[in-house]
């Protein structure tokens, strides 16, 4: 048996016997931490993707995953997206994410979130957590009781509170950039926008769109939530199964991921897909290319929804709402850069944004090759602030 054949055989055996490590290596994750506290019922996974530019920052999600494999796949995808999101937002942060396996309507307790906070604290600042799907400000307060490495906490505790308003604003600005590319004007007046989901981000986005004169359609698995937003914005409530096939200009996914898939992609009759949800493409390469082939402009999710990250990152240096909104407004320019790169190189927008993000990470990473006797405090700007926050 040749050396090459032996190596290939060994690799196949490793691929079969070590599926978790293979998942980490395939997307170049640095670390995964499993957290268990039977007393509180905590079952959590923390994924740290890349800390080249700075400590990993990313939200905590609570969801009733069917099994641990499903939870691991989700947290790995989300954490990788956070790396690219931070890079393209010009932040000195890396990417991470955490998930708690459980029903956010039934399984929450102070003990559970404080136990999770202890695991965060044990990482010593490699990962800073924040609020995501299924998590509220009270949950963040409980986490903060055990660690300083948490953002999205109430303003009275030195935080910024709910980041949803800035996330919604960033999605709005990114949507306007897409409109400029497609229609020659960034005005959304008269444009028909189908919003999937009626949560906090979708609600703020709907307000901005309504103020600009867009015609809105909205759906949610909880119809009352959709009706509440519709009553304020004059949107038309539609059935969740009908939202994909509406004759609209823009589809805005603001619920969970994977909604652009083999079953839905042929239903779209829109020019633009731009929304606040994460991991919108079920298969990034396949469905990103299919959208390009169909002439549908897609705003990469981790870029257009970066307002939330920009908002909570501001807490690391002392929060200022005006500064957060100003930084979120630059999502407009970033989206335009990605769309132009995609057009010039005939690559899907998701691929284009990955390339641009990876280039910034490489550029900043090279700086570490320059010897300096000083500490990394200037690069990890949150360290001094977090230390003083106790």
Find where tokens 């923390």 sit: 46
Query: CA-based angle 302:305:310, to the nearest 5?
Result: 100
Contact 47, 92 (CB under 8 A): no
DSSP per-residue letters across 85-147: HHHHTT-S-EEEEEEEES-TTTS--HHHHHHHHHHHHHTTTSEEEEE-TT--HHHHHHHHTT-
The tokens describing 351, both together, are 């691929």
The tokens describing 273, both together, are 């897909």
Find where tokens 């230390």 sit: 387
- CA quadruple 197, 172, 347, 180: dihedral positive or negative? positive
Rounded to 10 degrees, what is the CA torsion of 137, 138, 139, 143? 100
Catalytic residue among 16, 27, 85, 97: 97
Distance CA 23, CA 239 (A): 36
The tokens describing 285, both together, are 């390469």
Distance CA 256, CA 91 (A): 25
Beta strands in 157-314 (DSSP E): 192-196, 215-219, 236-237, 250-253, 272-273, 297-298
The tokens describing 82, both together, are 């956070």
The tokens describing 302, both together, are 């981790």
Distance CA 16, CA 52 (A): 30
- CA quadruple 144, 150, 152, 156: dihedral positive or negative? positive
108: Cα separation from own chain's centroid:
23
The tokens describing 144, both together, are 């903060």
C-alpha closest to that of 255 among 209, 219, 307: 219
Find where tokens 């309507």 sit: 105
Q: How far apart are the first and last CA of the chain?
A: 60
Residue 97 bears catalytic tag: yes
Active-site annotation, residues: 97
């Amino acid at each position: 048996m040749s050396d090459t054949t032996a190596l290939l055989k060994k690799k196949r055996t490793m691929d079969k016997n070590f599926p978790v490590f293979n998942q980490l290596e395939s997307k170049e994750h640095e670390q995964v931490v499993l957290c268990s506290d039977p007393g509180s019922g905590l079952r959590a996974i923390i994924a740290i993707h890349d800390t080249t530019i700075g400590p990993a920052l990313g939200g905590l999600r609570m969801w009733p995953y069917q099994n641990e494999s499903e939870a691991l796949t989700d947290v790995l995808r989300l954490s990788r997206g956070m790396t690219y999101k931070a890079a393209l937002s010009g932040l000195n942060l890396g990417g991470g994410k955490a998930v708690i396996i459980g029903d956010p309507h039934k399984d929450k307790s102070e003990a559970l979130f404080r136990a999770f906070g202890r695991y965060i604290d044990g990482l010593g600042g490699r990962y800073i957590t924040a609020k995501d799907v299924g998590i509220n400000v009270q949950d963040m307060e409980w986490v903060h009781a055990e660690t300083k490495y948490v953002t999205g906490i109430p303003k009275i505790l030195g935080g910024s509170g709910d980041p949803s308003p800035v996330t919604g604003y960033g999605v709005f600005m990114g949507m306007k950039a897409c409109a400029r590319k497609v229609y020659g004007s960034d005005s959304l007046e008269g444009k028909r926008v189908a919003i999937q989901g009626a949560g906090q981000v979708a609600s703020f986005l709907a307000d901005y769109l309504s103020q600009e004169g867009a015609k809105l359609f909205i759906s949610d698995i909880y119809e009352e939530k959709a009706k509440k937003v519709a009553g304020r914005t004059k949107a038309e409530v539609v059935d969740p199964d009908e939202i994909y096939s509406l004759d609209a200009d823009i589809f805005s996914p603001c619920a969970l991921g994977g909604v652009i898939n083999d079953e839905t992609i042929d239903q779209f009759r829109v020019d633009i897909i731009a929304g606040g949800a994460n991991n919108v493409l079920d298969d990034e390469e396949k469905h990103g290319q299919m959208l390009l082939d169909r002439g549908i402009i897609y705003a990469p999710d981790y870029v257009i929804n970066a307002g939330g990250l920009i908002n909570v990152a501001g807490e690391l240096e002392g929060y200022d709402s005006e500064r957060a909104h100003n930084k979120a407004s630059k999502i407009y320019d970033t989206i335009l850069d990605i769309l132009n790169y995609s057009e010039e190189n005939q690559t899907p927008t998701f691929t284009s944004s990955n390339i641009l993000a990876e280039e910034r990470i490489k550029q900043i990473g090279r700086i570490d090759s320059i010897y300096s006797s000083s500490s990394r405090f200037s690069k990890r700007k949150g360290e001094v602030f977090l230390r003083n926050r106790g």
